[in-house]
């Protein structure tokens, strides 16, 4: 049986030939399409889903590493201080997390994140201890408002950075952009010596860490301090105890004249915001880690339209929602599996078949799909319905 392919008379011969070849290729490779094969050979090409290839994993401390990534051709760049959401497959499941970019735009086009492995961190432990060069990761474009204002707005005049633990990561990206450094982040002191002292920013960095060996980027900070680029106030829990904000004005007598940027755990940021508010000052903050989900038995289920319901830990979400009058997608009763699947945006659910907990963290996780017919609330949870 022969098939005649009709093409518009106005179409150029080269375009007609290209379209015919594409259709032939698609017919020959069905159910896959040529783009699927291109993904194998050129996953970073323009027009493909945005990906990156890990090129280097460099240990920073015993539980932190810098991951150097070559982004795909459609990477749009970033502003120092922003973050990128990264998707990586762990045990066959794609997990998404957000990490600060630890460089300004590099000449070699690479991007870098620095990850601290946390005890309950599935992705952070995988990246720090198991990621290898050559691994492909999925990327989203850079985002985030934790950036310096334009110099013309006085944004680089007198600054105070307060950081704790891996909260240093977005700040080190800003510092590497403000002062001459190599693509590897090494300070170029010979160029720093010839900078214009009148236009140079006046920066104080208060950095908190459990100990000196556990302090991420402490070598970079100390090099900047020794070169006179910043004034570094390093506080280590094992030497100085917990940070006391009552000492802040002792360390920074001209606090009222500075713009404050802070990144670290929620407790520190809340205390710093209260401190500044009492004095009529503002502070720009960035949480480097969202509060983790603590699974429980049952909880409040919230839907995208704002509807909420209370459910116990033994009733499937599908049944609890339908009993409460919520119209739910489902094909279960007609023998159609996975018709009840919904994205879990935040919270935790328990698989009633085996007790396994699935969690989603707002701002980090993405596309965590759960079957509502066999999942029960394991604490507060938010479903996209």
Q: At what angle do helices 34-41 and 13-29 cross, to 10 degrees?
A: 90
Burial class of residue 375 (count of CB atoms within 10 Å of its CB; 0-12, 13-18, 19+): buried
- pLDDT of 385: 76
Answer yes or no: are the C-beta atoms of 124 and 97 closer than 8 Å. Answer: yes
Q: What is the pLDDT of residue 283?
A: 92
What is the pLDDT, as a whole number, of residue 118? 80
The DSSP code sequence of 211-242 is: SSTT-TTHHHHHHHHHTTSSEEEEEEHHHH-S
Give the residue among 146, 145, 72, 68 at the shortest CA–CA distance from 114.
68
User: Right CATH number for 299-383 from 3.10.20.30, 3.40.50.2300, 3.40.50.720, 1.10.760.10?
Assistant: 3.10.20.30
Helix (H) or strand (E) run with residue 190 in it: helix 189-192
3-state secondary structure of 337: coil
The architecture that CATH gives domain 151-287 is: 3-Layer(aba) Sandwich (3.40)
What CATH code would you report for 51-139?
Answer: 2.40.30.10
Specify the pLDDT at position 150. Answer: 74
Q: Which tens digits make up the pLDDT trace of 321-352?
A: 888 888 888 766 554 567 788 989 888 898 88
Radius of gyration of the chain (CA): 26
pLDDT digits (tens, 9 = 90+) for 92-148: 777 878 889 998 888 889 999 999 888 777 888 999 999 999 999 999 899 888 998
pLDDT of residue 110: 93
Numbered ranges of CATH 3.10.20.30 in the chain: 299-383
Residues 6+ apart with CB under 8 A from 63: 116, 117, 128, 214
Low-confidence ranges of the chain (pLDDT < 50): 1-10, 29, 32-33, 290-293, 335
The per-residue pLDDT for 57 is 95
C-beta separation of 186 from 103 below 8 A: no
- In the chain, residues under CATH classification 3.40.50.80 are 151-287
Q: Please, where in the chain does CATH 2.40.30.10 lie?
A: 51-139
Average pLDDT value over all residues in the chain: 81
């Amino acid at each position: 049986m022969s098939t005649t392919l009709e093409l518009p008379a106005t179409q150029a011969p080269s375009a007609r030939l290209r379209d015919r070849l594409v259709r032939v290729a698609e017919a020959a490779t069905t159910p896959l399409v040529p783009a699927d094969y291109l993904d194998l050979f050129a996953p970073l090409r323009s027009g493909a889903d945005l990906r990156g290839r890990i090129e280097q994993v460099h240990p920073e401390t015993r539980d932190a590493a810098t991951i150097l990534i070559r982004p795909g051709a459609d990477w749009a760049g970033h502003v120092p201080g922003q973050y990128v959401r990264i998707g990586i497959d762990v045990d066959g499941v794609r997990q998404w997390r957000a990490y600060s970019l630890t460089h300004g735009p590099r000449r070699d086009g690479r991007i870098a994140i620095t990850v601290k492995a946390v005890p309950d961190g599935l992705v952070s432990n995988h990246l720090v201890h198991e990621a290898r060069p050559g691994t492909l990761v999925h990327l989203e474009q850079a985002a985030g408002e934790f950036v310096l204002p334009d110099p013309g707005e006085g944004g680089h005049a007198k600054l105070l950075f307060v950081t704790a633990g891996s909260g240093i990561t977005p700040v080190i990206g800003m510092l590497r952009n403000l002062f001459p450094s190599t693509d590897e982040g090494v300070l170029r002191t010979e160029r720093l010596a010839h900078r214009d002292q009148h236009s140079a920013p006046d920066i104080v960095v208060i950095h908190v860490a459990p100990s000196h060996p556990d302090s991420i980027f402490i070598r970079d900070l100390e090099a900047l301090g020794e070169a006179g680029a910043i004034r570094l106030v390093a506080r280590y829990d094992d030497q100085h105890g917990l940070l006391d904000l009552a000492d802040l004005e002792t360390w920074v007598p001209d606090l009222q004249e500075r713009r404050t940027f802070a990144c670290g755990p929620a407790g520190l940021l809340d205390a710093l915001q209260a401190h500044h508010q009492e004095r009529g000052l503002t502070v720009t903050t960035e949480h480097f880690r969202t509060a983790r989900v603590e699974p429980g038995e049952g909880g409040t289920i919230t839907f995208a339209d704002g509807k909420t319901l209370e459910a116990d830990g033994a009733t499937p979400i599908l049944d609890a929602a339908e009993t409460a009058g919520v119209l739910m997608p489902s094909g279960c009763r007609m023998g159609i599996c996975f018709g009840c699947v919904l994205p879990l945006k935040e919270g935790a659910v328990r698989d009633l078949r085996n007790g396994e907990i699935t969690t989603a963290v707002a701002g980090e996780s993405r596309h965590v799909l759960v079957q509502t017919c066999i999942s029960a609330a394991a604490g507060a949870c938010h479903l996209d319905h």
